[in-house]
């Protein structure tokens, strides 16, 4: 299953550790605070367990969403590069 993981983690070191765990599990960083990739149910459980361990006492909000094919097909993306403001 394809999963989207998003987080709010204020503490820089903790956020970096959690990002590393996400990358270790094969997720790709699609935004500063968002990761996307395929996981088995077992790996998703493991990933969340490892993230909890990395958090220690730091504040965090982490949310994981399962995206089936239909949800994936309906994804909409706006992507634009910063453009020069001088004509």
Residues that bind a copy of itself (CB under 8 A): 4, 6-8, 10, 30-34, 44, 48, 51-52, 55, 57-68, 70-71, 74-85
Minimum distance from residue 44 beta carbon to a copy of itself (Å): 8
Q: Which is nearer to a copy of itself, 40 or 83 (CB)?
A: 83
In angstroms, the Cα distances linking 33 to 48, 61, 65, 68 are 16, 11, 14, 21
Residue closer to a copy of itself by CB (options 7, 25) is 7
Query: Residue with structure tokens 């990002």?
Result: 19
Residue 25, both tokens: 């599990």
Closest CA to 67 of 47, 39, 46: 39
**Comparison of 1 and 23: residue with beta carbon closer to a copy of itself:** 1
d(Cα 22, Cα 61) in Å, to the nearest integer?
A: 15
Shortest Cβ 7–a copy of itself spacing (Å): 7
Distance of closest approach, residue 66 Cβ to a copy of itself, in angstroms:
4
Report the run of H or E that residue 42 belongs to, with start and end.
Answer: helix 41-55
């Amino acid at each position: 299953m394809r999963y989207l993981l998003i987080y709010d983690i204020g503490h820089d070191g903790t956020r970096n550790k959690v990002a590393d765990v996400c990358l270790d599990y094969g997720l790709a960083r699609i935004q500063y605070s968002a990761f996307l990739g395929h996981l088995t149910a077992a790996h998703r459980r493991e990933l969340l367990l490892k993230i909890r361990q990395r958090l220690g006492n730091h504040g965090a909000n982490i949310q994981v969403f399962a995206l089936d094919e239909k949800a994936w097909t309906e994804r909409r993306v706006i992507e634009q590069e910063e453009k020069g403001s001088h004509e």
